[in-house]
């Protein structure tokens, strides 16, 4: 769908630079004030009763019975042209999404001629499995009777019958694409048929950009247009390239009001060469939708719908707030539980550390006893020394504190306490003075220990 639309838009852009081989005459014009305000770029929009003049497929699945009328006037150097039409459209109940309609259109140009048409329309939406479309494809056709009378032969009109056909593909993202073949008509003395390629894109539900490329035997024209919708569709403003009646270039402007079920549209064309040049014109249309809600009800309904949406959003946000509060409460409870577990673990770690210190102290005592027993055993195994002759005892010098001791292999705290204090139970005084040099209850080999003055318990 997107690729097909892109190719159509490329064709429309190429048509902008195409030149017309001849000027459009009264027989090329199609009525509709909304279409005129959009510069005749209406085949891919086609959503009011005048759509059957631009794309007979546009009326498929119309929800309301509608009737309308258009009146207008166009000026040109060849003479003024007046025109008018009556339209009637209604859903076709036997077939779902189908619509039927009828229209009469008549126009008169002072020095151009006249044309009368009677159209009978049928349109329906179809689901085509072979096409990957987001919405059903709209198809439609007109069976019509024509009577065309040239200026030079008044009263000698040529009666003919004909057919118009069209397809319209709508998407969910605002892009519509149309293809129509019109005026497959006999005995009217004009170049036939007319092929139209059209695209329309609606941006954010309020701005519509449209373009129609019309091709017939020796005439190629491109019609661009734009429409803006305001106040929930109550007011619409339009602009586009005007219809070139007898070669007079114009710019189209228009607006519409939707006082549902009544819709009124007005459009005008101004010659680009200056307002004093013969050219331009105006058109007004009136459409009525039977059974459609009033515009006040639509505004109230839209406001109520928006209020309900806001209430639903507020309820959703309030529920989300409650959920977040519950999650926060759960997180706080879990945090308290984790904090309690952490305190228990910290107390357990402290208890284990105290137990470790006690076990290390017991281990040191056991190792000391083992070493003492080994020393005592070695002493007992040595031969007893012979008694020495008595010598005159000299008075021992008083020791100085603190003293220094370099740890040798086999030294223990108890052995050092025995050596320096004469009491192995004073080993804790050495430990307290040298705690950073004690490893697992034993002094580090090669470390220099400070031996403090003994303190008797």
Decide: residue 262, CB within 10 A, 0-12 exposed, 13-18 middle, 19+ buried. Answer: middle
Q: Which long-range contacts (CB under 8 A, 24 or more apart) does 125-130 make?
A: 125/60, 125/61, 125/97, 125/98
Q: Mind listing the pLDDT tens digit of every residue in the chain (457 residues)?
A: 455 445 544 444 444 434 444 567 878 899 999 999 999 999 999 999 999 999 999 999 999 999 999 999 999 888 899 999 999 999 999 999 999 999 999 999 988 888 999 999 999 999 988 877 888 999 999 999 988 887 655 556 678 899 999 999 998 889 999 999 998 988 655 556 899 999 999 998 899 999 999 998 778 899 999 999 998 889 999 999 999 888 889 999 999 999 889 999 999 999 988 767 788 999 999 999 999 888 776 666 666 677 788 888 898 998 999 999 999 999 999 998 998 899 899 998 988 988 898 888 888 888 888 888 787 777 776 665 566 655 555 666 666 788 888 888 888 888 888 888 888 888 888 888 898 888 888 888 888 888 888 876 6
Residue-level pLDDT at 16: 40
Closest C-alpha among 59, 139, 54, 45 to residue 99? 59
d(CA 187, CA 181): 17
In angstroms, the Cα distances linking 406 to 261, 368, 369, 447, 450 are 113, 19, 22, 6, 9
CB within 8 Å of 10: residues ≥ 6 apart: none
Closest C-alpha among 158, 146, 154, 79 to residue 119? 146
Decide: residue 444, CB within 10 A, 0-12 exposed, 13-18 middle, 19+ buried. Answer: middle
Decide: residue 109, CB within 10 A, 0-12 exposed, 13-18 middle, 19+ buried. Answer: buried
Residue-level pLDDT at 4: 46
CB 31 within 8 A of CB 283: yes
d(CA 60, CA 400): 120
Residue-level pLDDT at 395: 62
d(CA 397, CA 243): 135
Q: Which two tokens stand for residue 233?
A: 């569709």
Closest C-alpha among 23, 393, 15, 355 to residue 199? 15
In angstroms, the Cα distances linking 457 to 165, 369, 427, 428, 454 are 122, 21, 12, 11, 9
């Amino acid at each position: 769908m997107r690729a097909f639309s892109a190719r159509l838009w490329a064709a429309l852009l190429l048509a902008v630079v195409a030149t017309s081989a001849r000027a459009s005459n009264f027989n090329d014009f199609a009525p509709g004030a909304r279409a005129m305000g959009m510069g005749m770029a209406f085949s891919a929009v086609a959503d009011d009763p005048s759509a059957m003049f631009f794309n007979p497929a546009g009326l498929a699945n119309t929800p309301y019975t509608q009737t309308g009328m258009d009146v207008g006037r166009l000026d040109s150097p060849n003479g003024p042209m007046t025109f008018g039409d009556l339209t009637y459209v209604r859903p076709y109940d036997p077939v779902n999404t189908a619509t039927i309609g009828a229209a009469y259109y008549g126009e008169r140009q002072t020095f151009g001629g006249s044309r009368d048409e009677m159209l009978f329309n049928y349109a329906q939406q179809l689901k085509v499995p072979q096409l990957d479309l987001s919405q059903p494809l709209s198809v439609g056709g007109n069976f019509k009777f024509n009577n065309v009378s040239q200026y030079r032969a008044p009263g000698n009109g040529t009666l003919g019958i004909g057919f118009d056909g069209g397809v319209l593909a709508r998407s969910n993202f605002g892009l519509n694409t149309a293809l129509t073949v019109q005026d497959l008509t006999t005995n009217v003395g004009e170049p036939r048929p007319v092929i139209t390629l059209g695209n329309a894109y609606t941006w954010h539900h309020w701005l519509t950009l449209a373009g129609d490329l019309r091709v017939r035997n020796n005439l190629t024209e491109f019609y661009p247009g734009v429409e803006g919708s305001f106040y929930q569709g109550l007011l619409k403003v339009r602009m586009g390239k005007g219809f070139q009646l007898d070669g007079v270039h114009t710019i189209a402007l228009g607006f519409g009001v939707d006082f549902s079920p009544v819709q009124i549209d007005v459009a005008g064309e101004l010659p680009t060469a200056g307002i004093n040049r013969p050219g331009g014109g105006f058109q007004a249309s009136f459409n009525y939708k039977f059974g459609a809600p009033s515009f006040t009800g639509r505004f109230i309904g839209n406001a109520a719908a928006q209020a309900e949406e806001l209430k639903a959003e507020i309820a959703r946000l309030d529920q989300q707030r409650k959920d977040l509060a519950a999650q926060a409460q759960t997180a706080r409870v879990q945090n308290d539980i984790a904090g309690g577990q952490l305190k228990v673990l910290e107390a357990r770690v402290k208890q284990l550390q105290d137990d470790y210190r006690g076990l290390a102290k017991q281990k040191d005592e056991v190792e000391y006893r083992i070493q003492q027993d080994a020393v005592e055993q070695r002493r007992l195994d040595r031969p007893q020394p012979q008694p020495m002759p008595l010598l005159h005892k000299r008075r021992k010098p008083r020791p100085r504190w603190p003293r220094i001791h370099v740890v040798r292999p086999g030294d223990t705290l108890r052995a050092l306490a025995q050596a320096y204090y004469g009491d192995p139970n004073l080993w804790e005084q050495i430990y307290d003075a040298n705690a950073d040099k004690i490893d697992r209850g034993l002094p580090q080999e090669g470390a220099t220990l400070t031996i403090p003055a003994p303190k008797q318990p």
